[in-house]
Amino acid sequence: MKIAIVCYPTFGGSGVVATELGIALAARGHEVHFITYRQPVRLALLGSNIHFHEVHVPKYPLFHYQPYELALSSKLVDMVKLHGIELLHVHYAIPHAYAGYMAKQMLAEEGISIPMVTTLHGTDITLVGSHPFYRPAVTFSINKSDVVTSVSRSLKEDTLRLFDVKGDIHVVPNFIDVARCGKKFTDCRRSMMAGEDEKIITHISNFRKVKRIDDVIKVFYEVQKSVPSRLLMIGEGPEKEGAEALCETLGIPDKVLYLGNSNEIDRILCFSDLFLLPSETESFGLVALEAMAHGVPVISSNTGGIPEVNRHGVTGFLSDVGDVQDMAKNALKLLEDEAMLEQFKSGARTEAMKFDIAQIVPLYEEIYRKAFESR
């Protein structure tokens, strides 16, 4: 099948999922065309059946906001015609589903009928999409998609609660390449990050408000009082400066390392003992799954789709949003008991296998078949 994938090409979970899906589909013989404004960060290699087409938005001074949706829908029309693309799979409703629908309509004018699958990822529904300024357009583009999928049961419930959705929403969970994560790194250089007697705690995100970065620092502050440890902070975003300031205030700047955005999270997770994800809301928490696949137990909040991934008492522990003391208590429970930590590391790895890419990609292929039928 010839499939166009539209996504954000950034380090964010939706872009990562879309990219990994495209790579896996290409490996299964499909022809995949990524259409977005930059080559996706995880898309290292292009080839005979994996392509990237850049959406250019020429700057014009009259426009206060440059019309990306217009450029994207035009590019979709051109690429569908040029490459004979048979299906659009758009990740993140805003504005991709809207642009995809416009492309569909333009193509229909020329007698080309193409189905569109929309995958909802989280903030396109919970934080941004449900804002009154966007809701009518998001509702419209969800209802005009041939098939809609969401990455967790929780996100499906949120979508049905927040929008007037007419059709069904199929839950297709996010996934991980277990074989790749299980690979032992010969150069897993733990000693570069911490002393032999120190535990390594990790957080990876886009450092936005929704991630509750201050809670990450506060949990670590409590933990390091009892267990010699280091905190690795991976990612970039608006809350980073505040986090650095909080570390100074608490007197722990030398114990916290900020490593910026990284394409090497496999190498960082391979020597991590614990992962922190205290988010305000999280439709799935792909990064928690990535940590688990590397055998890293997760201390998280119990919000949104996280409980569908992180199993309390098996792969880590869950606490109410903002309950820093409970998160720190749970972290210490694991870090102070070597046998228990080992048991949770193995529990995390085993649970992650349920989300192996090999099981999830065929679900998307099934969805594509459905989309063709419902055209």
Q: Considering the complex, what minimum distance in angstroms separates the CB of residue 203 from ligand GMT?
A: 13
- Residue 178's alpha-carbon distances to 139, 183, 203, in angstroms, are 35, 9, 20
Our CB check for ligand GMT shows the closer of 148 and 335 to be: 148
Decide: is 12 part of the binding site for ligand GMT (CB under 6 A): yes
Which residue reads 């809670």 in tokens? 215
Our CB check for ligand GMT shows the closer of 289 and 327 to be: 289
Q: Which of 40, 95, 115, 122 binds ligand GMT (CB under 6 A)?
A: 122
Which residue reads 């450029």 in tokens? 71
Decide: is 283 part of the binding site for ligand GMT (CB under 6 A): yes
Q: Which of 21, 25, 93, 210 binds ligand GMT (CB under 6 A)?
A: 210
Decide: is 20 part of the binding site for ligand GMT (CB under 6 A): no
Q: Considering the complex, what minimum distance in angstroms separates the CB of residue 16 from ligand GMT?
A: 7
Tokens of 45: 């290699």
Decide: is 284 part of the binding site for ligand GMT (CB under 6 A): yes
* Interface size with ligand GMT, residues (CB under 6 A): 20
- Closest-CA residue to 148 (of 116, 100, 107): 116
Our CB check for ligand GMT shows the closer of 178 and 223 to be: 178
Our CB check for ligand GMT shows the closer of 86 and 282 to be: 282
* Residues in contact with 165: Cβ distance below 8 Å, sequence separation at least 6, in sequence order: 139, 142, 143, 148, 159
201 contacts 273 by C-beta, under 8 angstroms: yes
Decide: is 281 part of the binding site for ligand GMT (CB under 6 A): yes
Distance CA 105, CA 311 (A): 44
Alpha-carbon dihedral sign for residues 13, 17, 18, 20 = positive
Dihedrals phi, psi of 307, to nearest 5 degrees: -65, -15
The secondary structure of 42-91 as a DSSP string is: T----BTTEEEEEPP----TT-SS--HHHHHHHHHHHHHHHHT--EEEEE
Q: Which of 123, 145, 229, 303 binds ligand GMT (CB under 6 A)?
A: 123
- Judged by CB under 6 A, the chain residues 329 through 368 that form the site for ligand GMT are none
* Residues in contact with 186: Cβ distance below 8 Å, sequence separation at least 6, in sequence order: none
User: Which region among 214-222, 282-290, 322-330, 348-356 touches ligand GMT (by CB under 6 A)?
Assistant: 282-290
Site string for ligand GMT, 36-55 (x = CB under 6 A): --------------------
Q: Considering the complex, what minimum distance in angstroms separates the CB of residue 190 from ligand GMT?
A: 27
Q: Which of 36, 139, 149, 206 binds ligand GMT (CB under 6 A)?
A: 206
Decide: is 282 part of the binding site for ligand GMT (CB under 6 A): yes
Decide: is 95 part of the binding site for ligand GMT (CB under 6 A): no
Decide: is 224 part of the binding site for ligand GMT (CB under 6 A): no
- Judged by CB under 6 A, the chain residues 142 through 171 that form the site for ligand GMT are 151
Decide: is 286 part of the binding site for ligand GMT (CB under 6 A): yes
Q: What is the DSSP letter of 190?
A: G
250 contacts 220 by C-beta, under 8 angstroms: no
Three-state SS at 209: helix
User: Which region among 12-20, 102-110, 227-235, 359-367 touches ligand GMT (by CB under 6 A)?
Assistant: 12-20
Peptide bond into 238 cis (omega under 30): no
Q: Which residues bind ligand GMT (CB under 6 A)?
A: 12-15, 17, 92, 121-123, 151, 174, 206, 208, 210, 281-286
